[in-house]
Amino acid sequence: MKTLIDRASEVAAVAAQYCDAVDRDARFPHEAIRAMKEQRLLGIMIATEYGGEGATTQEIAEVCTLLGQHCSASAMIFAMHQIKVGSLVTHGEDTQWHRDFMRRLTGEQLLLGSATTENGTGGDLGSSICAIERKGDTFTLRKDATVISYGQHCDAILATARRAPDAPNSDQVMVVLTKDGYSLDKTVDWNTMGMRGTCSEGYILNAQGENEQIFEKPFAEISAQSMLAMAHIFWAALWYGIATNAVSRAQSFVRIEARKKPGTPPPGALRVAEAASMLQLMKASIASSIHRFEAGRKNVDDLTSVSFAIDMNNLKIGASRLCVDIVQQAMMVCGIMGYKNDTPFSLGRHMRDAMSAPIMINNDRIFGNTSNLLLVHRLDQRLAG
Ligand SMILES: Cc1cc2nc3c(=O)[nH]c(=O)nc-3n(C[C@H](O)[C@H](O)[C@H](O)COP(=O)(O)OP(=O)(O)OC[C@H]3O[C@@H](n4cnc5c(N)ncnc54)[C@H](O)[C@@H]3O)c2cc1C
């Protein structure tokens, strides 16, 4: 029987085959997503009783890393989908509608998208302008969503909105919108520097559905207890994949140089060693965050603590910066062969994709959030725990 890594490796091979075309044409990676569905990767986090496999955060992060080594856009789509599945798994147990939807997701391998960013609030997750309007057992929602990755290709979208038209901006809920209940009118194209295959266009989202599709928990709790941590862990894991692939290319470059002049270490060798130490920092930070999140899932007090929020913010900031620095380091090693497209050492796509990391929820916004927390919270000065 194939392991999860065997199945993910098959998807990664398909993703690798089409990654340059996906990047060049800024098109959806149909082949890789089809392969994910064939390998039944979309429902792996869901519990076995709903047809899933109960995969752990560590296992899913490992798949993100593997895919990230071959096609960042496919890896990002996988990661964003799993972040949404994470909210369903963690907060959907209490409602029949969400339980049924988890069964549907695993059975039909549905792809989930996300509509949190909104015209007027930008990357401020904790604030919405649009509102749920309830009428009897049903609701309607209109959202000016400036970014919905792979919106045209989703089977369902998880959107944030104010609880009601008279609720304050911070009183938010999250709702599962199914494709038969929404329409998307494109407002913004996606012609970007990197992550081109995510097709993260802007839309006016018009939706309707049954009230049961709305999660009972306030979005603030969903965000604190599952979404933010999973987002930062899965993103960091795929950025680690981009960085490891860049360093592998630099290492191959240096080995070839070393063979050409035996006895004279190539100048790039030191930089590869330096990049390897940066990779280790990145890996250690991701591993410790996964460990803390998995432990925290059994202890809600920890998940909602200030120190947990600071840890997860720091993971995102640290991993996104390291990814860019590591790819740049690899570029210095490979020189013109890294700068050129179409060489075995090309790093242009890695560099462009990595540049999305610090702005995908802007690091300055996250620093702003952490700086407020640090006004009231003592710095963690211990090594253990
Ligand atoms: C590849 C990719 C895919 C994405 N997919 C989706 C998706 O599927 N769904 C979705 O909803 N969103 C998606 N997003 C959007 C993302 O979640 C963020 O909303 C977006 O990246 C924020 O963009 P921004 O920096 O312009 O906005 P903002 O975060 O609003 O920041 C705007 C500017 O203000 C500054 N700033 C803001 N707040 C502060 C602060 N507190 N302190 C200091 N400076 C501050 C920032 O430095 C920045 O220059 C995606 C983004 C990317 C890059």
* Angle (nearest 5°) at CA 169 between 87 and 209: 50
pLDDT at 384 over 80: no
Determine which residue's CA is closest to atom 23 belonging to ligand 1. 123
Considering only CA atoms, which of 207, 183, 175 is closest in space to residue 92? 175
C-alpha 146 – ligand 1 centre gap (Å): 10
Average pLDDT, the chain: 96
Question: Which are the contacts of 364, defined by CB distance < 8 A and separation ≥ 6?
Answer: none
Q: Does ligand 1 come within 6 angstroms of the Cβ of 123?
A: yes
pLDDT of residue 1: 87
Using one digit for the tens of pLDDT, what is the confidence trace for 78-93?
A: 999 999 999 999 999 9
What pLDDT, on the 0 to 100 scale, is given for residue 383? 81
**Binning pLDDT at 50, 70 and 90, where does residue 271 land?**
very high
DSSP class of residue 131 equals B
**How remote is the CA of residue 362 from the centroid of ligand 1, in Å?**
5
| Ligand 1 pocket check for 126: Cβ under 6 Å | no
Best residue among 125, 316, 362 to mutate for probing ligand 1, ranked by most atoms within 8 Å of CB: 362
What are the residue ranges spanned by the domains of the chain?
4-111, 113-213, 219-376
Q: How far is the CA of 178 from the centre of ligand 1 (A)?
A: 25
180-231 pLDDT, tens digit per residue, is: 999 999 999 999 999 999 999 999 999 999 999 999 999 999 999 999 999 9
Same topology for domains 113-213 and 219-376, yes or no?
A: no
User: Which residue from 116, 88, 115 is spatially nearest to 102, judged by alpha carbons?
Assistant: 88
CB 225 within 8 A of CB 300: yes
200 lines ligand 1 (CB under 6 A): yes
Nearest residue (CA) to ligand 1, atom 21: 360
| Better-predicted residue by pLDDT, 112 or 379 | 112
Q: Residue 347: pLDDT band by 50, 70, 90 thresholds?
A: very high
- Size of the chain, expressed as the number of residues it contains: 385
Burial of 168 from C-beta contacts in 10 A (0-12 / 13-18 / 19+)? exposed
Q: What is the mean pLDDT of residues 306-329?
A: 97
CA of 125 to the centre of ligand 1 (A): 9
What is the C-alpha to C-alpha distance for residues 320 and 341, in angstroms, rounded to an integer?
23
Provide the pLDDT for residue 40.
98
Q: Is the pTM of this model over 0.95?
A: yes
pLDDT above 90 for 357: yes
Nearest atom, ligand 1, residue 145 CA: 11
User: Which CATH code of 1.20.140.10, 1.10.3720.10, 1.20.1050.10, 2.40.50.100 fits the domain covering 219-376?
Assistant: 1.20.140.10
Q: Each residue of 226-262: pLDDT tens digit?
A: 999 999 999 999 999 999 999 999 999 999 999 999 8
Q: Which two tokens stand for residue 55?
A: 């995969």
Ligand 1 pocket member 355 (CB < 6 A): no
Question: What's the rounded Cα separation, in Å, for the pair 74 and 163?
Answer: 33
Whether residue 380 is predicted with pLDDT greater than 90 in this model: the reply is no
pLDDT tens-digit series, residues 39-56: 999 999 999 999 999 999
Residues facing 214 on adjacent strands: 175
Please provide the CATH number assigned to the domain covering 4-111. 1.10.540.10
- Give, for 115, the enclosing helix (H) or strand (E): strand 112-115
Per DSSP, the residues of 2-19 read: --HHHHHHHHHHHHHHHH
Class for the domain spanning 113-213: mainly beta
Query: Is the beta carbon of 356 within 6 A of some atom in ligand 1?
Result: yes
- The first and second tokens of residue 202, run together, are 């802007």
pLDDT tens digits for range 291-314: 999 998 888 888 889 999 999 999
- Nearest CA owner, ligand 1 atom 47: 364
CA 335 to ligand 1 center in whole angstroms: 32
- pLDDT given for residue 385 in this prediction: 66
Ligand 1 lined by 120 (C-beta under 6 Å): no
